């Protein structure tokens, strides 16, 4: 029996049955002749499209961005150009949005052909790309393309700020009754570029369905900017972030539940190990000798007077879970997270029996 089974458990890691939903599938890696389909609908894919448009203009000696490398252009800059930029520059961005939307619609068509995605009524789109107007327009345009093709699925941007949705979703990894005597939980969102940890106020007195949950404070660390960072350093930095946040909450007299919910890239095994899909994280996170919940429990054995319970699931699943209270008008829904890669998960609501 894996050693991590001895840790306080409130739910199985990577579980398919969660308190409010069944997780029908997640971390699906679709391929075609050109490679992984998800690579055609990622933040990097949008930058590649912009670069291709710029190359076409350079042939006529008229690149509106001059000598600035495409990778140094931010989505915030693109947003500003759309509002008040020169018409030709804005036209370039609009062209890139259109091309990306076509690719996103193509990828969604392929997902909808999967047996596990059959009958999907709504797809929520999150991830860092959605946080900008460029992303919102691409999502909206992809939705129009699908409807024009008579594909009956709603495509909507994730409701919460994507930086916070992955933290809020952690509250849905365990039954809400567990948190009745507490004000907040600790959430962690691990991505291919960033690690984010935060205190999530549950606000259960306002709404028992967690629809009023919101992030009180969080810390962000861009591990992708660190040279020669290894796995042990990364876990140590994450543990230090959590310890600082827990101390802040205790100073403010916030009643923290002894619970940490974590979203992490990859396919999550029941013992808390990661099977595949964590290649963008520093070091080898899929090693049989590594267990993230166990490593964090050693660093934070207690919250308050109680043993710390830790639940790990896929990051797209956890970000999608933040939408659970707002998906009660449909039975089957999904999430796509556009970031370093294309995260995905499909859910079926567990209505009260």
Find the helix packing angle between 87-112 and 43-58, rounded to 10°: 140
pLDDT tens by residue, 8-31:
567 789 999 999 999 999 999 888
Instruction: Give a yes or no: residue 74 inside a domain.
Output: yes
- Three-state DSSP at 242 gives helix
299 and 178 together in one domain: yes
Model pLDDT, residue 74:
84
348 domain-assigned: no
Is residue 130 located within the same domain as residue 216? no
Shared-domain flag, residues 293 and 149: no
Which pair of structure tokens corresponds to residue 85? 């930029």
Say whether both 141 and 189 belong to one domain: no
On whether both 146 and 246 belong to a single domain, the answer is no
Question: Quick one: how far is CA 286 from the chain centroid?
Answer: 19
At residue 156, the 3 state secondary structure works out as: strand
Question: Is 352 within a domain?
Answer: no
Please give the residue that has the higher pLDDT: either 314 or 1.
Answer: 314
Q: What pLDDT digit, counting tens, does each position of 134-168 carry?
A: 999 999 999 999 999 999 999 999 999 988 999 99
- Quick check: is 12 in a domain? no
- Whether residues 167 and 307 share a domain: the answer is yes
Does residue 130 have a pLDDT over 70?
yes
The arithmetic mean of pLDDT across residues 53-78, rounded, is 85
Summarize pLDDT for 241-298 with one digit per residue, the tens: 999 999 999 999 999 999 999 999 999 999 999 988 888 898 899 998 899 999 999 9
CA dihedral 149, 336, 341, 116 (to 10 degrees): -80
Domain stop point among 157, 185, 210: 157
Domain that holds residue 242: 161-322
Q: How far apart are CA 81 and CA 328, in angstroms?
A: 38
The domain that contains 243 carries what CATH number? Answer: 3.30.420.40
Residue 316: name the closest of 284, 350, 349, 347 by CA.
347
Q: What is the dihedral of CA 42, 44, 47, 49, to 10 degrees?
A: -60
Residue 1 belongs to some domain of the structure: no
Number of domains in the chain: 2
The H-assigned helical ranges of 41-200 are 43-58, 75-84, 87-112, 133-148, 162-168
Q: Is the domain of 119 the same as that of 168?
A: no
**Cβ atoms within 10 Å of 141's Cβ, excluding its own:** 19
Same domain, 314 and 170: yes
pLDDT of residue 7: 56
pLDDT of amino acid 190: 94
Whether residue 103 is found in the same domain as residue 177: no
Final residue of a structural domain among 101, 122, 157: 157
Rounding to the nearest 10 degrees, give the CA dihedral for residues 235, 195, 294, 203. 140
Same domain, 144 and 83: yes
Query: 109 falls in which pLDDT band (50, 70, 90)?
Result: very high
Indicate whether 95 and 179 sit together in one domain: no
Q: Partners of 337 in the beta sheet?
A: 126, 343
Please tell me the predicted confidence (pLDDT) of residue 352. 57
pLDDT in tens, 197-229: 999 999 999 999 999 999 999 999 998 888 788
Integer CA distances (angstroms), 246 to 171, 252, 256, 309, in order: 16, 10, 8, 14
Whose structure tokens read 């940890």?
197
pLDDT digits (tens, 9 = 90+) for 29-62: 888 767 677 788 888 899 999 999 999 888 887 8
Q: Is the residue at 344 inside a domain?
A: no
């Amino acid at each position: 029996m894996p050693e991590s089974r001895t840790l306080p458990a409130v739910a199985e890691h990577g579980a398919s049955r969660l308190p409010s939903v069944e997780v029908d599938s997640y971390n699906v890696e679709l391929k075609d002749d050109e490679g992984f389909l998800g690579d055609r609908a990622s933040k990097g894919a949008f930058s590649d499209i912009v670069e291709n448009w710029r190359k076409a203009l350079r042939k006529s000696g008229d690149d509106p961005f001059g000598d600035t490398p495409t990778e140094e252009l931010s989505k915030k800059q693109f947003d500003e150009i759309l509002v008040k930029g020169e018409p030709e520059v804005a036209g370039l961005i609009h062209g890139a949005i259109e091309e990306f939307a076509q690719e996103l619609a193509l990828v969604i068509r392929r997902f909808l052909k999967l047996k596990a995605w059959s009958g999907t009524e709504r797809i929520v789109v999150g991830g860092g790309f959605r946080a900008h107007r460029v992303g919102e327009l691409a999502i909206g345009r992809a939705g129009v393309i699908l409807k024009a093709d008579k594909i009956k699925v709603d495509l909507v941007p994730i409701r919460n700020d994507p930086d916070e949705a992955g933290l809020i979703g952690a509250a849905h990894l365990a039954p809400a009754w567990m948190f009745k005597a507490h004000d907040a939980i600790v959430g962690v969102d691990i991505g291919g570029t960033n690690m984010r940890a935060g205190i999530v106020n549950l606000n259960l007195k306002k709404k028992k369905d967690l629809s009023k949950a919101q992030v009180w404070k969080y810390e962000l660390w861009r591990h992708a900017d660190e040279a020669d960072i290894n796995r042990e350093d990364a876990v140590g930095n994450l543990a230090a972030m959590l310890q600082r946040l827990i101390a802040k909450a205790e100073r403010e007299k916030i009643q923290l539940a002894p619970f940490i919910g974590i979203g992490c890239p990859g396919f999550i095994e029941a013992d808390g190990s990661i099977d595949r899909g964590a290649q963008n994280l520093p070091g080898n996170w899929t090693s049989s000798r590594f267990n993230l919940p166990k490593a964090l429990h050693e660093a934070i054995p207690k919250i308050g007077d109680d043993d710390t319970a830790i639940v790990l699931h896929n990051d797209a699943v956890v970000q999608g879970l933040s939408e659970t209270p707002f998906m009660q008008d449909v039975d089957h829904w999904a999430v796509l997270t556009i970031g370093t890669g294309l995260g995905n998960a499909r859910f079926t609501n567990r209505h009260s029996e």
